[in-house]
Amino acid sequence: MTVATRQKLVERIWARDTKVWTGADEDKWLGWLDEPKRMRERAGEIAEFAEKARKKFETFVLLGMGGSSLAPEVLKRTFGAKQLHVLDTTHPAMIRHAEKSLDLSKTMFIVSSKSGTTLETLSHFEYFWAKTGANGEQFAAVTDPGSALERLANTRNMHVFAGEPTIGGRYSALSAFGIVPAALMGIDVERVLANGERMAEACRGDANPGLELGLQLGEGWREGRDKVCIEETEGRFGLWAEQLIAESTGKQGKGLVPAPGESPEGPDRQAAGVQLGEADEIGAEFFRWEFAVAIAGAILEINPFDQPDVQAAKDKTKEVLASGEDPRLEPEGSLDELLASAEPPHYIAVQAFIDPMRESELQPVIGRGHETGCVVTHGLGPRYLHSTGQLHKGGPPTGLFIQVVDETGEEIPIPGQDFGFGRLIRAQAEGDYRSLRERGRPIVRVRLEDL
């Protein structure tokens, strides 16, 4: 690509030219380009709210999924913040752990959902609303204007922070969805946003860091190197970048497969570095990767801002719940046969609907996956459904899937629902299993205890 062509591509993105991608509705989802500057204007208001909240509460719990939870999780890890906990699982063991380890009277909950209809988040909300005695001062909401969550929060006298409707969830790290939790952690959000704005300006010019990374990702894909081996950081930046890449590019039978921490050595792999000197620079790095994935989307000739296959697993989950069925989640298929069939350019995806506190127990199956020479990714359910799930169903047909389940223990009822958290996570596992199988994706189910 010539220098002139490169610069023209950049100019067209900033001009909101949808033909850079597919000529569909991409221009409606480009609010992230201006969000660092827009959020700096709100930084004072958010910081003031956070300062008052930190004087009143000792602990903060973020209730959210996908784009609402991954940036806060990475910010928490990057800055070493102890006072924020991210709850993005429906596993009863983790709900019990959260309830036992927190002093609920000194805890504020941030209910975070762009759509305002996220089943997991609303279930968490209703559960802890009841547990805290329906005290609106202990809750705040981050949601798009006009959502059902906004309306509910207003009736409950909660503080509401408006999201930007022209930004999709995976591009929302530098919006209220990332910045409100950051402020509650005591992070200097003005500095984070200033670095984001600096990178946004750099992504207009000749020496364009986002363009360079995006061209590398896209050209690597053209050469068959579609596994993006993201450098692992102490803050686990790859957790956030994983959703950005997978959900943006994994569609129409093609896509980039994010593989945080995997070795870049191999004919189907490429390395992707993370540029973080100081923690505050994460604002710049969020924007650099957002711009890069928009560039990669242009090379792949897809719409990087939609997620046409994400709904499939949600619909299957609803079907299972509506039927009254409580799936037993028995082992299915042969793990040995699945692994025997694996060779590059396959990738192996371990999908674990287990207690997050037991994540380290996945290492044996991850190790067996590596013995095949394939890239191995792993995600916790239902979190990954809001992250890499789009890629698994809509991306290249090279994935081999291993669903891992455990015993969920005693049921925990969800207020206002005829099912509890245990049945919900089992329905989510079964729904995704059926969705992948319907698409002809090779998948087996194993018990964590059998690994």
Q: What is the pLDDT of residues 127-183, one digit of tens each?
A: 999 999 999 999 999 999 999 999 999 999 999 999 999 999 999 999 999 999 999
What pTM was computed for the model? 0.97
Confidence check: pLDDT of 3 > 90: no
pLDDT of res. 312? 84
Answer whether 229's CB lies under 8 Å from 257's CB: no
Sheet with strand 227-230: strands edge to edge: 257-258, 227-230, 269-272
Pick the last residue of a domain from 300, 322, 351: 300
**Mean predicted confidence (pLDDT) in 113-127:** 97
Same domain, 74 and 179: yes
The letter for the amino acid at 71 is A
Select from 16, 25, 15 the least CA-distant residue to 303. Answer: 25
pLDDT of res. 317? 94
- Characterize the bridge pairing of strands 139-143 and 257-258: unpaired
Task: Give exposure, 216-228, as e/b (b: 16+ Cβ within 10 Å).
Answer: bbbebbeeebbbb
Q: Which residue matches tokens 């989307």?
A: 297
Same domain, 373 and 233: no
Confidence of residue 283 (pLDDT cuts 50, 70, 90): very high
Same domain, 146 and 167: yes
Digit-coded pLDDT (tens) for 231-282: 999 999 999 999 999 999 999 999 999 999 999 999 999 999 999 999 999 9
Return d(Cα 334, Cα 450) in angstroms, integer: 12
End-to-end CA separation in angstroms for the chain: 48
In a domain, 199, yes or no: no
- The total number of structural domains in the chain stands at 3
In a domain, 227, yes or no: yes
Query: Looking at residue 167, what DSSP letter applies?
Result: S
pLDDT of res. 402? 98
Same domain, 240 and 296: yes
Query: Looking at residue 377, what DSSP letter applies?
Result: E
Same domain, 293 and 325: no
Same domain, 48 and 171: yes
Return d(Cα 241, Cα 2) in angstroms, integer: 28
The helix/strand/coil state of 379 is strand
Mean pLDDT of the chain: 97
Domain with 343 in it = 310-450
In a domain, 197, yes or no: no
Same domain, 291 and 334: no
Same domain, 71 and 166: yes
pLDDT of res. 178? 98
Digit-coded pLDDT (tens) for 397-428: 999 999 999 999 999 999 999 999 999 999 99
Q: What count of other Cβ atoms lies within 10 Å of the Cβ of residue 16?
A: 13
Select from 150, 164, 224 the least CA-distant residue to 28. Answer: 164
Pick the last residue of a domain from 246, 274, 300: 300
